[in-house]
Structure formats: structure tokens, C-alpha cells
Chain A
Amino acid sequence: MGRVTTSRGFAPKHFRRPEQAEQERVPPGQYLAHGFPVLTVGPTPVVPPEQYRLKVVAADGTTARTWTLAELKALPAQRLTTDIHCVTRWSKLDTTWEGVPVDVLLEGVPPAPFLTAEAYGDYTTNLATDDVVGGRGWVVWGYDGAPLTPEHGGPVRLLVPHLYFWKSAKWLSRLVLRERDHPGFWERAGYHHRGDPWREQRYDTD
């Protein structure tokens, strides 16, 4: 470690430290947000719930399954409470969601090491399959006890809370399994391919 530069006059009256218990849940370089900020690259797509479809595409390009929103909700749903971390430096603790583990959606689909999450509005993000199975990734339609609103990705988004939140694609339309890693939207724009907040994997140089 080099010498840390102190900023003159940056003193306690200018900041509030998280409680110790919270501190341990906030990754390096993050701060606690009070609201629920929105980060999206463009206009919020309008996806009427009755027209919503989620497809899982196998690595050979064939569509393995398609669900309507009603069909998704008929799957064995879970409610979960988790912390989320955005690369723009806010973290939010104890967010509550309702959805289904990605494992359920991939049942019977030939396994592949990577996948691309694709969204209405052409957003994409890449993930290692291991990061979304084993109870680490969900497809969710409920937030804080209510239907997920459009600006937060409704009707349906991906939720991968142990990675920076850009991996949790809003308006999820397809999960495309892949034999090789294909960088998605932000990953092609200089952001990290995996995005682990505890390792501060913000940019591709991290």
C-alpha cells in the first residue's frame, strides 16, 4: 500500500458511517442508497405483461422452452431477501424479491458453461452459467411485495445479487446458453466480464 492521500477537512460532519453490521455487507467503494436508483442505457421498453415471453435457448441455437408470465408464475416461486450492489457505487440491503431460481428454467436443457441474458430493448450481458445456477440466480417478477415496475425491469428481470447489478438484466427476454463467453453490452464498453463487487471488478482492467 502506498501513502494514502488525506483530503483536508473531509471530517466526520461530512459523512455518516454505516453501522458496523451494515459495513460488513457493503463491498469496497460502495455506499448505502436510501432509495432504489435506476440505471438503464436508454428508454424503458414497454412490455405489456400479457405479451411477455421468456425463452431459454440451448447452445446449439434451438429454443428449448418458452414461458408466458402466467406460466412463469406457476413455477415453484421463492421469496428471497438479498443485498444488491450497482457499479455506480450504491448498494441496497435487504431487498425482497419474488421469482424462480434459474436452475428451474434450465432443467432438461443441455448444459453449457456460459450464457447471455438478452433483454427487450436489445440489452445483453454475459454470465458464467455457474454464477446463475445453484441458487445464485433468479428470474423475478416481484419486488418489495408488488409486481416489478417497468423502470426496475418489469415485468420480469434477472437477479444475480452476488454480481454488480448490470448483470441482473431488466426486461429479460432470452437466456441463451453458450459454449464460449460472448461479452454483452457493458462488457464491450469497458466493464468487467464477471463483475464481482467484493473484488471490485468494475472495469475490464480490474
Chain B
Amino acid sequence: MTAWRPARVAAVREETASARTLVLDVDGWDGHRAGQHVSLRLTAEDGYQAARDYSLASAAGEPPEVTVQRMDDGEVSPWFVDVAEAGDALEVRGPAGGWFVWDPHAGGPPLLLVAGGSGLVPLRSVLRTRVRSGDRTPVRLLVSARTADDVLYRDELAEPADGVEVVVTLTRGAPPGWTGRTGRLDRAALDALGSPPEREPDVYVCGPTAFVEQVASDLVAEGHDPARVRTERFG
């Protein structure tokens, strides 16, 4: 069996009140592709171990980063969000995943990225990989979040790279002064905001199961080729 690699938390960034990005320093790390995930394993003093899979948030070629959303009944995510500090030890397997991935290539199809909540994490890797590689693929990113305070990577989304259009919609009400969209990414919103099927975009949808089920079905109903719609669901 492939060995777990010793790793350390290199740095921690607060993203929201309930999510953090952790930069990892992994022995023998050999790089990853945008969209891939890693398994992270924690070991308690008495030897108890727990492992979970997390999407990588950083660009291909950057040190591995994960963004972890605290699950209130979780056994692993609270450690990352509430306890972990630079220098803390853990173990890493991966990267893994050969389907929900994107590699830069000149002349490739445009991208339609659709994120629900922390489903934004692997899509952030796509955006950063695109910029880092100098790729110019046109990208439209739709982000659905509950409230403005739940939006990950707010500063990055506010200043998208050339060729990247970002639409954030809030599903549980907007703060005073919010000029963006509100409401769910239903069929009408996808029709209005998404890339039309005629442009034949490659589509990546990531988020909670119910979100992905609905968005993927609506996109197919709108005319997108199911073979071009990649999905990743969690929860």
C-alpha cells in the first residue's frame, strides 16, 4: 500500500468564521493537478486515527493547500479549523483523482464552473492553475453561498483575472449595500448567468449533493452535453 507521508502545517489562513486554508509541507510531495484531492490523517496520543479527503485549493505547481469547512458534528474538520497551527504534524496521501481535474491547454473549450458553498475549493485550484500557467481559457464562475460571510476567497473573487467572470449569489439574504445577486442557482438563473450550451463549455459542478443534483440536471435540460458535465458531490 502506498505510504502515508509525514506532513506539517506550514501556515494557516482564516477564510470565514468557519473555514480555514492550511498550507501543507508534505515530505516527498510531487505536485498535483487542479481538481484533485488528498487524504489527511490525524493521530491522537492514544493511537486513534481518523482520515478524511479534502480537495486541493492551490494551483498545480504551488505547495498543497486545503480549505476546510468546519462540520459541527465532524471529528476531523474541527481540528483543522479550531486547533491546527503552523508546525503541527499530520499525514497525507495523494494527490488522487483523475476525472474532476483540469489541465491547461491552449485552445481548449471555455469553462463553466459552478460552486455551492465549499464546493468552490477545487474550482479555486482551477482558477489559480489557469493564471499560473498563463492559460487564457475563458472562464465563467458561478458561486452560490448562504450569506456574504460564507463566501470563500472573497478577495480573490473580487478581482478576477482577465478572461474570468465571477457571479456570486447569496441564498439566505444579503447584507446592506450588497449589489450582487441573491437567490438560488435555479434553472432560470443558470439560463441567465451560465455559458450557453452552444459554446460547448467544459462544465465543473461541485458542492453539496442536493445542489449538484439540481444544477447538473438543469444544465443538461438547458442543452449541455452530459458528457461535458463533471461533478463532485459531498455531504
In B61-88, which residues have CB < 8 Å from any A CB?
A: 73, 75-76, 78-79, 83-84, 88
Q: Which residue of B lies closest to A34 (CB)?
A: B73
The yes or no answer to A40 lying at the interface (CB within 8 A) is yes
Across the interface, which residues of A come within 8 angstroms of B99, CB to CB? 41, 185-186, 189
Stretch at the interface among A4-12, A53-61, A129-137: A4-12
| The one of A7, A37, A203 that contacts B88, using a Cβ cutoff of 8 Å | A7
Q: Which residue of A lies closest to B233 (CB)?
A: A38
Across the interface, which residues of B come within 8 angstroms of A186, CB to CB? 99
A42 adjacent to B227 (CB under 8 Å)? yes
Across the interface, which residues of B come within 8 angstroms of A12, CB to CB? 44
Q: Which residue of B lies closest to A35 (CB)?
A: B235
Stretch at the interface among B48-56, B148-156, B178-186: B48-56
A89 adjacent to B83 (CB under 8 Å)? no
Q: In the complex where A189-B98, A189-B99, A203-B96 touch, is A4 in contact with B43 (Cβ < 8 A)?
A: yes
| Residues of B within 8 A of A (CB-CB), count | 46
B230 adjacent to A41 (CB under 8 Å)? yes
A166-B108 Cα distance, complex, nearest whole Å:
29
DSSP class of B's interface residues: helix, strand, loop or mixed?
Answer: mixed
The yes or no answer to A113 lying at the interface (CB within 8 A) is no
B213 adjacent to A6 (CB under 8 Å)? no
The yes or no answer to B163 lying at the interface (CB within 8 A) is no
A46-B217 Cα distance, complex, nearest whole Å:
9
* Shortest distance between the CB of B202 and any CB in chain A (Å): 12
Stretch at the interface among A14-22, A66-74, A91-99, A139-147: A14-22
Q: With a 10 A CB-CB cut-off, give which of A11, A34, A42, A46 has the most chain B CB atoms.
A: A42
Interface flags, A76-96, vs B, CB<8A=1, else 0: 000000000000110000000
A5-B16 Cα distance, complex, nearest whole Å:
29
Across the interface, which residues of A come within 8 angstroms of B47, CB to CB? 4
| The one of B2, B51, B78 that contacts A14, using a Cβ cutoff of 8 Å | B78
Interface flags, A37-49, vs B, CB<8A=1, else 0: 1111111111000
The yes or no answer to A206 lying at the interface (CB within 8 A) is yes
In A136-192, which residues have CB < 8 Å from any B CB?
A: 151, 185-186, 188-190
A7 adjacent to B233 (CB under 8 Å)? no
Q: Which residue of B lies closest to A11 (CB)?
A: B44
A10-B82 Cα distance, complex, nearest whole Å:
11
The yes or no answer to B135 lying at the interface (CB within 8 A) is no
B43 adjacent to A44 (CB under 8 Å)? no
Q: In the complex where A189-B99, A190-B98 touch, is A7 in contact with B53 (Cβ < 8 A)?
A: no
Across the interface, which residues of A come within 8 angstroms of B91, CB to CB? 5
| The one of B45, B78, B83, B231 that contacts A43, using a Cβ cutoff of 8 Å | B231
List 7 interface pairs A-B (beta carbons < 8 Å), by A numbering. A9-B84, A12-B44, A15-B44, A17-B48, A185-B99, A188-B98, A205-B2
Further 5 A-B residue pairs, CB within 8 A, beyond A5-B89, A29-B39, A31-B50: A4-B49, A7-B44, A9-B83, A42-B227, A151-B213
Measured CB to CB, the residues of A under 8 A from B are 4-12, 14-17, 29, 31, 34-35, 37-46, 88-89, 121-122, 151, 185-186, 188-190, 200, 202-203, 205-206
**Nearest 10 CB-CB pairings of A with B:** A189-B98, A15-B75, A43-B216, A7-B42, A10-B42, A9-B83, A5-B89, A38-B209, A190-B98, A205-B2
